[in-house]
């Protein structure tokens, strides 16, 4: 599973664009800080075993029900049983009978809305199985949690616009099983350590496409005008990976090594379906080769659905994505869903073929999928891009740690299953795999993965299985590594000091582990240190494994640089007080992109002389993140230094990176006063990405507001990405720029897909209107939101943004009486919106 962080990103970007720095509630799940007694979450005991499921489903679109008939082949896992126990959430059970061999004997059962206990009528041993036919109705929208609240995030089965409302999306049905929601739409043992094969027959209107796991075995046209598709999954996998998606989808297809690869999209995207899921077949080839294990399943389907509750999900052979995957050539110039495609595909080895035994072991799924993204980046775009992706994982983990979450990577004492899907299981775990690869070397690492996959295919694993595979291959004991990284919390916090001792001719480096040793391990860290002197670079392999350690390097003269962790691989907070001359040497001579990045970042926080020269060099760096960091530094330079880098900034107006071009427009105008309205108007029109267009547009509207607003009105609701945000802000921040009738017009012409982002800015616009206009716009938004829950979600976020803004303004002591009263009126309008939320 890949969580969706796009909305959070959108906010950050929007607030920057707006020049605001409002304190918005951060959209994140953080662990409760209450002191709970640690609970041991064991792997689910295996008693009832579902060997095979033969499922027939059809839909009651009007009531949003699924009519199901499941024939389960059940057996005791090991110990004898006379009662089978299944998960079945919120179903109406019609009948249960023994099936097969001409039998149809009614079976007794008990059902409490969650657990279904079926009396087998005899005692079975583990060599005996029994077929049980369960006829039921699944009612996902009537499912309740304790206390009667409706479940929104764990319904398992979702009907989107089932009644074909004109304001809504194309009608569709899709499922989301992880962690334990598939038992809403079929009875099963809903645990990650269960394994079953299955066949699913889906009956739909003829115009509908169905997608499910495995291969499409055959199709029949029914006499009532419907069609039934028979999907066969003959390789066992865990129940949470079972999927189904239904709707009037279009597709493009490829074949890879004799298996079908299908790209499903809504009809509007039929011509670009392959581009929605970039590099799919190349990834299948790359991952198969690097893992020494060919892609192990029958086909590879990818489909994008509306109102998806997660980012994407690795259902075996049928990946479901949220609608952020859709785009056009201008948005894809800014970025595609490629990382997500690689993430979900890598799960087909780590997660689907070999599955975590319990949610405590989730990093065995998610750390790998996260590291799969890094491997793909490195392969496709080179070492620097791989390193950058992994570095961002490192930062992601530190963000979560700084918000107060620090837990073991493998956690038997987790507070909630959903809390396992966090920056530890994904980002930290991915980074730990990078460390393991660096320590073992590529050959041992990938051979270890091959052995792990081979030894455990179709099985569930816990962390020790991974260690044993690497030990088997490398001949090394790895308990020390797994204990400190997978089975403990925290990370090393290293204080590093450098001193040159002229008398002994030695460079002395002191490393102190300053983490709280009552909570976090004292680490064993194999590290490379590069010592740069006039004679060249000498690499030392050292082991940091004590609280305070001194390392002495024989040198002929004072070194230019002592580079701790020259491989840039540690997951650690390294506080290395390098003097400026070390940093300058590292910038000029560090072989890796991260050496330069780290040096520039440190230099920019100092008052080093000739900053303009450093900025000038870095504006020409090969790597985009270094160019961008330097570009952001330009406004801080004094005018003499700024003028020294003017030609480099000019060159960035045509940089290959679209975010850099966007920023360069802003700086070209703000710092240098260069370019007239016609220049930025032309750039807005001709730029080849939305992000770059937005940078030009934001300057254009300052220079020629009337012309830029005309452009905005012509493009509102028709563009995406950065430009969409810029235009919406331009038109909706201030009622003097758009009349209520114009805004109602934008809403009515925008189309269902682009309405949400307009809704984000509407609350701020609306509260500034008089009462009757407020009500007029409000009623239109309510109608649209009734068929478009994305719009509703964005609108609700918009209310919070507006509230933060009004509250901030109310604190301003310089407001006049009139201004103060106006803001108070805005506050009361906001209350209307908040109450309706």
Q: How many CB atoms lie within 10 A of CB 576?
A: 19
- Per DSSP, which regions of 27-185 are E strands? 48-60, 65-76, 81-87, 91-100, 103-106, 109-111, 115-124, 130-138, 157-160, 172-175
Residue range at the interface with Zn ion (CB under 5 A); choices 2-10, 201-209, 273-281, 495-503: 2-10
Identify the H or E element spanning 791.
Answer: helix 789-810
Give the nearer residue to Zn ion in terms of CB position, either 366 or 641: 366
Residue with tokens 């000739």: 610
Q: Rounded to whole angstroms, how far apart are CA atoms 361 and 479?
A: 17
Q: Taking Cα atoms as reference points, which of 455, 480, 450 lies closest to residue 465? A: 455
Residue sitting closest to Zn ion (CB): 369
Q: Taking Cα atoms as reference points, which of 213, 84, 65, 191 lies closest to residue 139? A: 65
User: At closest approach, how far in Å is the CB of 312 from Zn ion?
Assistant: 8
Give the nearer residue to Zn ion in terms of CB position, either 179 or 798: 179
User: At closest approach, how far in Å is the CB of 420 from Zn ion?
Assistant: 11
Give the nearer residue to Zn ion in terms of CB position, either 50 or 319: 319
**Which residues, 6 or more positions from 807, have their beta carbon under 8 angstroms from its beta carbon?**
none
Phi, psi of 403 (to 5 degrees): -80, -5
Q: How many CB atoms lie within 10 A of CB 640?
A: 8
Q: How many CB atoms lie within 10 A of CB 724?
A: 23
Give the nearer residue to Zn ion in terms of CB position, either 265 or 369: 369
User: At closest approach, how far in Å is the CB of 463 from Zn ion?
Assistant: 17
Q: Are 408 and 360 in contact (CB under 8 A)?
A: no
Q: Rounded to whole angstroms, how far apart are CA atoms 258 and 256?
A: 5
User: At closest approach, how far in Å is the CB of 409 from Zn ion?
Assistant: 15
Contact with Zn ion (CB under 5 A) among 1, 91, 527, 747:
1
User: At closest approach, how far in Å is the CB of 369 from Zn ion?
Assistant: 4
Give the nearer residue to Zn ion in terms of CB position, either 369 or 629: 369
User: At closest approach, how far in Å is the CB of 456 from Zn ion?
Assistant: 18
> Hey, which residues does 59 pair with through a beta bridge?
66
Q: Rounded to whole angstroms, how far apart are CA atoms 374 and 378?
A: 6
Q: Is 570 in the site for Zn ion (CB under 5 A)?
A: no
What the block records as the tokens of 444 is 């041992």
Per CB under 5 A, which of residues 360..389 are in contact with Zn ion?
366, 369
Distances from the Cα of 253 to the Cα of 126, 264, 695, angstroms: 43, 9, 37
Q: Are 235 and 197 in contact (CB under 8 A)?
A: yes
Give the nearer residue to Zn ion in terms of CB position, either 342 or 781: 342
Q: Are 341 and 278 in contact (CB under 8 A)?
A: yes
Give the nearer residue to Zn ion in terms of CB position, either 1 or 74: 1
Give the nearer residue to Zn ion in terms of CB position, either 2 or 139: 2
User: At closest approach, how far in Å is the CB of 314 from Zn ion?
Assistant: 6
Burial 143-175 (b: 16+ CB within 10 A, else e): beeeeeeebeebbbbbbbbbeeeeebbbbbbbb
Q: Taking Cα atoms as reference points, which of 280, 313, 288 lies closest to residue 453? A: 288
User: At closest approach, how far in Å is the CB of 421 from Zn ion?
Assistant: 8
User: At closest approach, how far in Å is the CB of 188 from Zn ion?
Assistant: 21
Give the nearer residue to Zn ion in terms of CB position, either 204 or 356: 356
User: At closest approach, how far in Å is the CB of 377 from Zn ion?
Assistant: 16
Give the nearer residue to Zn ion in terms of CB position, either 5 or 710: 5
Determine the 3-state secondary structure of 221 from DSSP: strand
Give the nearer residue to Zn ion in terms of CB position, either 1 or 708: 1
Per-residue interface string for the shown chain with Zn ion, residues 321-360, x marking contact by CB under 5 A: ----------------------------------------
CA 772 to chain centroid:
42
Give the nearer residue to Zn ion in terms of CB position, either 1 or 603: 1
Residue with tokens 């775009």: 381
User: At closest approach, how far in Å is the CB of 347 from Zn ion?
Assistant: 6
Residue range at the interface with Zn ion (CB under 5 A); choices 1-9, 76-84, 464-472, 634-642: 1-9
Per CB under 5 A, which of residues 735..774 are in contact with Zn ion?
none
Q: Are 823 and 794 in contact (CB under 8 A)?
A: no
User: At closest approach, how far in Å is the CB of 184 from Zn ion?
Assistant: 21
User: At closest approach, how far in Å is the CB of 279 from Zn ion?
Assistant: 18
Q: CA geometry: angle at 553 spanning 577 and 497, to 5°?
A: 15
**Beta strands 215-221 and 226-237, pairing class:** antiparallel
User: At closest approach, how far in Å is the CB of 178 from Zn ion?
Assistant: 9
Alpha-carbon radius of gyration of the chain: 30
Give the nearer residue to Zn ion in terms of CB position, either 356 or 509: 356
Give the nearer residue to Zn ion in terms of CB position, either 371 or 486: 371
Q: Taking Cα atoms as reference points, which of 284, 278, 344 lies closest to residue 311? A: 344
Q: How many residues does the chain have?
A: 837
Per CB under 5 A, which of residues 800..819 are in contact with Zn ion?
none
Total residues at the site for Zn ion (CB under 5 A)? Answer: 4
Q: Taking Cα atoms as reference points, which of 309, 297, 302 lies closest to residue 262? A: 302
> Number of helices (H) and strands (E), helices first, in the chain?
27, 29
Give the nearer residue to Zn ion in terms of CB position, either 350 or 746: 350
Q: Judging by beta carbons within 10 Å of its beta carbon (0-12, 13-18, 19+), is residue 638 exposed, middle or buried? A: exposed
User: At closest approach, how far in Å is the CB of 344 from Zn ion?
Assistant: 7
Residues at the contact surface with Zn ion, assessed by CB under 5 A: 1-2, 366, 369
């Amino acid at each position: 599973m890949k969580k969706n962080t796009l909305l959070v990103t959108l906010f950050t970007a929007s607030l920057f664009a707006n020049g605001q720095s409002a304190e918005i509630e951060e959209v994140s799940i953080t662990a409760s800080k209450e002191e709970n007694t640690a609970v041991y979450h064991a792997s689910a005991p295996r008693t009832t075993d579902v060997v095979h499921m033969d499922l027939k489903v059809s839909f009651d679109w009007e009531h949003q029900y699924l009519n199901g008939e499941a024939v389960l082949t059940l057996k005791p896992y090991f110990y004898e049983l006379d009662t089978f126990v299944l998960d079945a959430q919120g179903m109406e059970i019609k009948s249960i009978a023994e099936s097969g061999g001409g039998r149809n004997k009614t079976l007794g059962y008990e059902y409490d809305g969650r657990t279904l206990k079926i009396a087998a009528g005899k005692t079975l041993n583990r060599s005996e199985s029994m077929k049980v036919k369960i006829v039921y109705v699944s009612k996902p929208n009537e499912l309740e949690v304790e206390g009667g609240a409706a479940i929104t995030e764990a319904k398992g089965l979702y009907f989107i616009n089932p009644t074909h409302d004109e304001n809504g999306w194309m009608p569709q049905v899709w499922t989301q099983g992880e962690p334990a929601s598939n038992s809403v739409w079929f009875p099963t043992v809903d645990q990650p350590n269960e394994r079953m094969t299955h066949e699913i027959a889906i009956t739909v209107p003829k115009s509908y496409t169905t997608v499910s796991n495995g291969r499409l075995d055959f199709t029949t046209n029914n006499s009532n005008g419907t069609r039934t598709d028979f999907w066969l999954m003959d390789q066992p996998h865990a129940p949470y990976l079972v999927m189904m998606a239904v709707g009037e989808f279009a597709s493009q297809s490829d074949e890879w090594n004799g298996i079908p690869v299908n790209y499903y999209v809504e009809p509007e995207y039929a011509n670009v379906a392959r581009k929605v899921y970039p590099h799919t077949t190349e990834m299948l080839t790359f991952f198969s080769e690097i893992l020494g294990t060919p892609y192990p399943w029958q086909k590879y389907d990818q489909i994008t659905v509306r109102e998806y509750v997660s980012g994407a999900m690795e259902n075996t052979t049928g990946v479901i994505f949220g609608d952020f995957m859709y785009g056009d050539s201008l948005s894809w110039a800014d970025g595609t869903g490629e990382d997500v495609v690689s993430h979900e595909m890598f799960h087909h080895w780590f997660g689907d073929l070999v599955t975590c035994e319990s949610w405590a072991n989730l990093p065995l799924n998610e750390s790998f999928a996260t590291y799969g993204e890094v491997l793909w980046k490195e392969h496709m775009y080179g070492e620097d891009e791989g390193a950058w992706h992994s570095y961002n994982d490192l930062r992601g983990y530190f963000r979560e740690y700084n918000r107060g979450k620090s837990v073991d990577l493998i956690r038997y004492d987790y507070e909630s299953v959903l809390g396992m899907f966090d920056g530890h299981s994904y980002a930290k775990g991915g980074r730990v795999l990078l460390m393991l690869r660096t320590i073992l070397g590529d050959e041992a690492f990938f051979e270890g993965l091959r052995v792990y996959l081979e030894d455990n295919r179709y099985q569930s694993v816990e962390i020790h299985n991974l260690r044993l595979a690497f030990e088997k291959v490398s001949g090394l004991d790895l308990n020390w590594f797994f204990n400190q990284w997978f089975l403990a919390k925290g990370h090393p916090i290293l204080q590093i000091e450098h001193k040159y001792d002229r008398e002994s001719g030695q460079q002395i480096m002191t490393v102190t582990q300053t983490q709280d040793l009552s909570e976090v391990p004292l680490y064993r860290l194999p590290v490379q240190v590069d010592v740069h002197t006039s004679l060249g670079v000498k690499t030392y392999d050292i082991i940091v494994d004590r609280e305070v350690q001194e390392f002495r390097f024989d040198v002929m003269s004072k070194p230019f640089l002592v580079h701790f962790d020259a491989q840039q691989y540690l997951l650690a907070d390294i506080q290395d007080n390098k003097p400026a001359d070390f940093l300058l040497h590292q910038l000029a001579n560090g072989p890796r992109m991260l050496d330069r990045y780290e040096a520039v970042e440190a230099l920019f926080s100092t008052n080093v002389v000739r900053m303009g020269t450093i900025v000038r060099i870095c504006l020409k760096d090969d790597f985009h993140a270094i160019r961008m960091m330097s570009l952001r530094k330009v406004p801080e330079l004094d005018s003499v230094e700024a003028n020294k880098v003017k030609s480099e900034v000019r060159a960035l107006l045509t940089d290959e990176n679209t975010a850099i071009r966007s920023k360069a427009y802003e700086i070209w105008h703000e710092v240098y006063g260069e370019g007239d309205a016609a220049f930025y108007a032309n750039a807005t029109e001709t730029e080849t990405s939305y992000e770059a267009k937005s940078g030009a547009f934001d300057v254009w509207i300052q220079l020629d507001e009337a012309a830029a607003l005309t452009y905005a009105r012509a493009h509102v609701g028709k563009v995406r990405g950065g430009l969409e945000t810029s235009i919406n802000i331009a038109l909706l921040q201030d009622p003097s720029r758009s009349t209520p009738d114009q805004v109602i017009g934008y809403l009515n012409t925008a189309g269902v897909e682009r309405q949400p982002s307009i809704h984000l800015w509407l609350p701020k616009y609306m509260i500034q209107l008089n009462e009757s206009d407020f009500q007029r716009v409000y009623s239109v938004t309510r109608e649209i939101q009734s068929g478009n829950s994305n719009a509703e979600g964005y609108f609700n976020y918009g209310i919070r943004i507006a509230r933060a803004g009004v509250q901030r303004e109310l604190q301003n002591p310089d407001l006049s009486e009139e201004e103060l009263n106006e803001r108070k009126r805005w506050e009361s309008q906001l209350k209307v919106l908040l109450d309706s939320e």
